[in-house]
Copies of this chain bind each other. A is one copy, B any other.
Amino acid sequence: MNRSILFKNARLAENAGFADNKVFISVINGVIDSISTNAPEDTSVYERIVDCRSNLVLPAFYNTHTHIAMSALRGYGENLPLHRWLNERIFPAEDRLTSEIVYAASMLSIAEMIKNGIVSFSDMYMFSADTARAAIECDVKANISRAVVAFDPTEDPRTSTRVQEAIALYRDYNGAQDGRIKIDLSVHAEYTVTEPMCRYVASLAKEYGTGIHVHLSETESEHMEGIGRRGKTPTAFFADCGLFDTRAYAAHCVYVTEEDMDILKAKNVSVIHNPVSNLKLGSGVMPLDAMLEKGINVALGTDGASSNNSQSILKELQLAAILHKGIQRRAEILHSDKLLSLTSLSGALSQGREDCGKIAPGYKADLILLNLNTPHNIPCYTPSAIVCYSAENSDVLMTVCDGRILYENGEFTTIDIERVMYDAQKAFAIYS
């Protein structure tokens, strides 16, 4: 497979430069070589010529905050207050997780993501090597981190099993698959870490050149208790520990202050917006438009399938597109044209993939074809509005990652979907 494909009759959801909506996208060796209204003279180099008539062509989606193995716990312990859900259901169930369950659940979630047009995810969890194995097998991109927690301030961070697991994960998997797999470091959250551990992980990130993945100010109580504990906000605490001196991405950020946002902007921290999870868990609403006005890089994440319950960036986008308009009662904010980049370019940046997330020459060929020939996408006066307001996951006809077709017309090329679903059901049976 030379990963060279010619897409013809392509209508780009972004990119107003091509008004006639019938362009040729030439992909050579997995990279977008040219976009043109003229057909290339020599088409013998392409292993496939794909006709995109009746489709929108979009950059593929990036799911930049998730715990993909939590698909094992989708719908497990619903309708409870947050603390009861965590303490009575999720934590005891997680205690029973095994390598086998995490692998089966990771495969299931990656299949779900690929069919939903997602080619890359940022994961923070446990048994992370099993998640990495699954990502490699399915041939997707992933930034994977072992979540580090530390509760004993007298503990020497260097002796922490979790840190050792995180370093082993880095040594075993970072850079695998031609760089599609990256290993980042992770501090779970301000309330689950000691200051020495936080500083130590920051130093490791610098040493290894990794990114940092954190949960940040997801709930008001977490934010306020953090201030009580540290004498400063969780954002300021992380910044002071040096955690934001590397490429960093912070999930949720529902309760960050104006000053926190200034820190996040100054430190180039990417904020990961998880609107579905924030609503479902009763956390609240992140100030998305304020973040964007500050120039913060905001990407989208699904969070785990136990608090969502999907791995769908399209759903996050579509909720983000209407939620803030409704809460602020301003229909004119967050223009649909501007929101599209949150699903792709911003996500790629948060993962340190500067050559991804955009349909432009020189960028990796990560793209999806979206079906317009379906009742809910007719008429198409405004392509970005189709994506932000009416498209469905099932409209994804093709998912392409680095020029490899991972999914086409309901068929997976790297996954035996029937087996993955069977294995998942079997592995999850201990929770039934």
Interface residues of A (CB under 8 A from B): 71-72, 74-76, 78-82, 85, 108-109, 111-112, 115-116, 220, 276, 278-285, 305, 308-312, 319, 321-323, 325-332, 335-337, 373-376, 378-382, 384-386, 389-390, 392-394, 417, 420-421, 424-425, 428, 431-432
Contact = CB atoms under 8 A, between A and B. Distances in A.
Contacts of A375: 71, 108-109, 111-112, 115, 417, 420-421
11 contacts: A71-B378, A75-B379, A75-B380, A75-B382, A75-B386, A109-B375, A281-B325, A282-B331, A309-B385, A319-B319, A378-B421
Given A71-B378, A375-B421, 13 more contacts: A75-B381, A79-B331, A79-B335, A282-B331, A285-B327, A309-B389, A374-B421, A375-B417, A375-B420, A378-B425, A379-B431, A381-B432, A392-B394
Contacts of A72: 379
A331 B85 CA distance: 9
B284 A379 contact: no
Nearest to A325: B282
Top 10 A-B pairs ranked by shortest CB distance? A279-B326, A394-B394, A282-B331, A112-B375, A75-B385, A279-B322, A309-B389, A309-B390, A75-B382, A280-B322
Nearest to A373: B421
A335 B379 CA distance: 36
B279 A332 contact: no
Contacts of A392: 392-394
B280 A382 contact: no
Nearest to A108: B375
Contacts of A384: 78
B76 A280 contact: no
A1 to B, nearest CB: 25
A75 B282 contact: no
A328 B282 contact: yes
A283 B329 contact: yes
A128 to B, nearest CB: 21
Contact of A329 (B282, B328, B332, B373): B282
Contacts of A319: 319
B379 A326 contact: no
B331 A81 contact: yes
A287 to B, nearest CB: 14
A336 B108 CA distance: 24
A391 B260 CA distance: 37
Given A75-B380, A393-B392, A394-B392, A80 B331 contact: yes
A311 to B, nearest CB: 7
A76 B379 CA distance: 9
A84 to B, nearest CB: 8
Given A327-B327, A331-B82, A385-B75, A108 B378 contact: yes
Given A326-B283, A392-B392, A425 B331 contact: no
A389 B111 CA distance: 18
A325 B279 CA distance: 6
Nearest to A418: B373
Given A322-B279, A421-B378, A80 B332 contact: yes
A70 B105 CA distance: 42
Contacts of A112: 375-376
A289 to B, nearest CB: 12
Contacts of A322: 276, 279-280
Q: Which residue, A78, A305, A308, A330, has most C-beta atoms of chain B within 10 A?
A: A78
Nearest to A110: B375
Nearest to A335: B79
A282 B330 contact: yes
Contacts of A376: 112, 116, 309-312, 393
Contacts of A385: 74-75, 78-79, 309
A379 B384 CA distance: 33
A279 B323 CA distance: 6
Contacts of A282: 325-326, 328-332
A311 B329 CA distance: 23
A332 B78 CA distance: 8
